[in-house]
Structure 1
Amino acid sequence: MTLPSPIPPDDPQRRLAVVRPETDDDLQYIALAGDVYTILLSGKQTDGRYCLIDMHVPPGGGPPPHRHDFEEMFTLLEGQLRFTFRGEEVDVKAGETVNIPANAPHFFRNVSDQPARMLCMCTPAGQEEYFLQVAVPIESPTAPPPQLSEAEQAASREKAAQLAAQYRTEFL
């Protein structure tokens, strides 16, 4: 007698996703708060399980303090960043990984004089949709972020604040 499998059957509607940043014309590049992000995998490609974002963070770059109800994992590929987690600072360098538990207050900052690059995975997906709503589209991951006027920066912060709750995020 064969027992039923404890896992669901394969879903043939789901496809293998292979991302080739050098040649993939479908990737979305955005500038957000001076950083440049590439959406490598969206929730649409992972059945909502996670998203994967390639983040380029210039010296001084990084988001304001915030928290959200999903897990966020960062693997630093190049450079060094300072993560502040529940008020405690931790310096992270290339090759290291940080996991931020859901609901925990945190932010990061590039406190070095060199650019940093990391991969960010959010689970479940959705953060990429928020970023796409509030960021400025750019042409490539090497394009400089646009120089926004004070009024444009204020409008961007206001839009981010207005949409935050819809995307399960809270600014602190």
Structure 2
Amino acid sequence: MIPDDDPTRSLTVADPADPATTFVSLVGNTYAMLITGEQTDGRYCLIDMRVPDGGGPPPHRHDFEEMFTILEGEIEFTFRGEKHTVRAGSTVNVPANAPHFFRNVSGAPARMLCMCTPAGQDEYFTRIGTTVDGWDAPPPRLTDDEVTEQRRRAAELASAYRSEFL
């Protein structure tokens, strides 16, 4: 049986140009938090990722599903040790618990949408990254100590967000 409608939840329209959009710089990437777990009652989040050439996260895994739709460029996904080059227009689903990471191999900036279900990755990125003014904001110039602190915070919070670095 389908539950009754919950009138306390509202329609969400995701527009990166909306001044309320939060942009986070993390390891040189810029992420726009388009739809947050707060807006979906924790069911999922949607993040618009801009990844510079050569950019991407370190090897990791987590207990939630993660889906990427490549909008621009080419992304090389390493999934359980095997490399897969994925071009614009394709979608990749990374199953929960599987070791993986990605690199932009385009020779130019790449862009993709990332959906995580359930939500949480949006909050994790916001807690460990640096909030910036928008897509065109340069990544912050972090000192070596600030980079070390950001990595420490990422490792410290990883388990709370059901993730681990490999």
TM-score by length of 2: 0.97
Does 2:8 align with 1:13?
A: yes
Q: Which of the numbers 142, 146, 149 marks the counterpart of 1:148?
A: 142
**Residue of structure 2 in register with 1:84 after alignment:** 78
Tell me how many residue pairs correspond in the alignment: 166
**Residue of structure 1 in register with 2:102 after alignment:** 108
Q: Provide structure 1 residue ranges, at least 5 long, that are not aligned to the other structure.
A: 1-5
CA–CA separation in structure 1 for the residues paired with 2:15 and 2:32: 12
CA–CA separation in structure 2 for the residues paired with 1:117 and 1:142: 14
CA–CA separation in structure 2 for the residues paired with 1:159 and 1:99: 27
CA–CA separation in structure 1 for the residues paired with 2:147 and 2:123: 20
**Residue of structure 2 in register with 1:171 after alignment:** 165
- Runs ≥4 residues deviating over 6 A: none
CA–CA separation in structure 2 for the residues paired with 1:20 and 1:134: 23
**Residue of structure 1 in register with 2:37 after alignment:** 43
Using the aligned pairs only, state the percent identity: 62
**Residue of structure 2 in register with 1:3 after alignment:** none
TM-score by length of 1: 0.94
| 1:111 CA displacement | 2.0
| 1:153 CA displacement | 1.2
